[in-house]
Structure 1
Amino acid sequence: MLFDGESLARQFVLLTRALLESGSVAAVLERVVFAARALVPGADLVSVTLRSDDEAFHTPVWTDRVADDLDQLQYRFGEGACVEAARPGGPGMALSDDLGTDDRWPRFGRAAAEVGFRSLVSTALLPDAVRPRLSGALNVYSRQRNAFATEDRDVLLLLATHASLALATTRAVRRGELEAEQLRRAIDSRDLIGQAKGVLMARRGISAEEAFDLLRRTSQDMNLKLRELAQTVVGRREELDLPDLGGR
């Protein structure tokens, strides 16, 4: 999906508003990763790496669980773009156009290529962070080789700035706090999605599996987070024209 300058500006206005209004750094980081997936044409998966005060790496937010799995491989091997960019004093951006042949990260690169991911770019977050603030990286994976053009990297630098501001304005974001917030949001999302499935099942006479598939496909078609779509379905159940929600 291509965005013009006006669309990009609108996306960043929304992110800035979220940064100013949100009481949760996890919520801001989640908005950043989904914005990255929407704004960068080659992006298939997006995640955030944080380096906690015990110097361990972890992934508090992602667009798909596979992104977390790929991040974990980098943490285990001690190599990869997100590990390099997340280290204090590391590069502002680390990029591979072909992970399968990149001799800088042979173990991780081969493992990523084997599951179909060829390009990775990671942009540093708070590279000069001093405890208890956390350094980290915004990571974007693609199934294509040479996936990220110069303008894509510029967009990611701007998104990383928003994520960095969210981290910088939080006095002490520790791993446990982010994990607790992530768990709470996951539970809330599960409840909302369950309610939305119930609405669709009742209105359209479909199974739970078909209702979830309809929600998933519609969220992808509309470039909308599944939780936000579920909230709309539940909140407007009496007025939504449900047969037009993505089709069957």
Structure 2
Amino acid sequence: MDWRRVAEQMASMARDLLAQDSVSATLERISASAVDLVEGCDAAGILVLHGRQVETLAPTDQLVIDSDRLQERLGEGPCFDAAYTGQGERVFRIADLTAEHHRWAAFAPQAQALGVGSMMGFLLFTEDEDLGALNLYSHKPGAFNEVSELAGWLLASHAAVAFSSARTHAQMEHALATRHVIGEAMGILMSRHHLTEEQAFDVLRRYSQENNVKLREVARQVCELGGLS
């Protein structure tokens, strides 16, 4: 492998990831980069677990979704185990799924039927948080070797930083938007009902609590309708 070329590709990819304008665009670029840069990779996607429920993000192929759903339904599999138990390695490589029937007796044969020959997975993490797992698939057994694993690990390291940065940026934008709409709603209430700023906010807060509606949605209602129903 031409490591100079790989390094140049990784550097270009890292800049490209940070240039994406949304979390979803960042994740889609991560998955696409895996297929482009990791030799043997036919499909890729990011798995996130909510309890024991699986969410598949930015899949490049239906195979990724089918594999994740299979692991969710069976409650076993390499991606599921690593993410759910917290006991898996941060990197796993399954050279040949046919040799894994003893580990995942239910998953392995059904994954083979889906067209999975070999797999790799990389937990996406920073010092502060675990973000999910980047999972790579090949239709062929033995498609991934140590070089593929190293390339995948380099990609995942860049991807975790980009993913975390994109999510933080999105959270900040959401917070600013929420602050703006709440401020606008308070202004409407203050003007119409001659309330102080504190009183207007208390009206929004009490309505939110009594009706089990998020404060931002209450504020949006005031902005759209001019008051509370």
Question: How does the TM-score come out when normalised to structure 2?
Answer: 0.65
Deviation at 1:67, TM superposition (A): 1.4
Residue 36 of structure 1: SS of its match in structure 2?
Answer: helix
Q: What do residues 188-245 of structure 1 show as CA deviations (whole Å, max 9, x unaligned)?
A: xxxxxxxxxxxxxxxxxxxxxxxxxxxxxxxxxxxxxxxxxxxxxxxxxxxxxxxxxx
Instruction: Point out the more displaced range, 85-94 or 67-76.
Output: 85-94
Deviation at 1:172, TM superposition (A): 8.5
Residue 55 of structure 2: SS of its match in structure 1?
Answer: strand
Distance 1:21 1:172 in 2: 12
Distance 1:172 1:70 in 2: 31
Deviation at 1:124, TM superposition (A): 0.9
User: In the superposition, relative to structure 1, how do residues 32 and 105 fare at CA in structure 2: closer, same or farther (>3 Å)?
Assistant: same
Higher helix share: 2
Distance 1:101 1:37 in 2: 24
Instruction: Tell me the percent identity.
Output: 33
Residue 168 of structure 2: SS of its match in structure 1?
Answer: coil
1:141 maps onto 2:141 in alignment: no
Specify the code of the residue in structure 1 equivalent to 2:53. Answer: A
Contact (CA 8 Å) 1:84, 1:94: kept in 2 or not?
Answer: no
Contact (CA 8 Å) 2:92, 2:121: kept in 1 or not?
Answer: yes
Q: What do residues 169-201 of structure 1 show as CA deviations (whole Å, max 9, x unaligned)?
A: 223979xx9xxxxxxxxxxxxxxxxxxxxxxxx
The corresponding residue for 1:151 is: 147
Gaps of at least 5 residues in structure 1 are 178-248
Deviation at 1:56, TM superposition (A): 3.0
The corresponding residue for 2:160 is: 164
Distance 2:119 2:158 in 1: 20
Contact (CA 8 Å) 2:122, 2:156: kept in 1 or not?
Answer: yes
The corresponding residue for 1:70 is: 67
Distance 1:60 1:173 in 2: 16
Contact (CA 8 Å) 2:52, 2:72: kept in 1 or not?
Answer: no
Question: RMSD of the TM alignment (CA)?
Answer: 2.5
Question: How does the TM-score come out when normalised to structure 1?
Answer: 0.60
**Equivalences, count:** 169
Specify the code of the residue in structure 2 equivalent to 1:156. Answer: G
Gaps of at least 5 residues in structure 2 are 175-229
Deviation at 1:122, TM superposition (A): 0.8
Instruction: Say which one has the larger Rg.
Output: 2
The corresponding residue for 1:27 is: 25
Specify the code of the residue in structure 2 equivalent to 1:168. Answer: S
User: In the superposition, relative to structure 1, how do residues 32 and 76 fare at CA in structure 2: closer, same or farther (>3 Å)?
Assistant: same
Contact (CA 8 Å) 1:118, 1:142: kept in 2 or not?
Answer: yes
Deviation at 1:8, TM superposition (A): 1.5
Contact (CA 8 Å) 1:37, 1:45: kept in 2 or not?
Answer: yes
Deviation at 1:45, TM superposition (A): 1.3
Q: What do residues 111-140 of structure 1 show as CA deviations (whole Å, max 9, x unaligned)?
A: 01123322111111127765xxx5311111
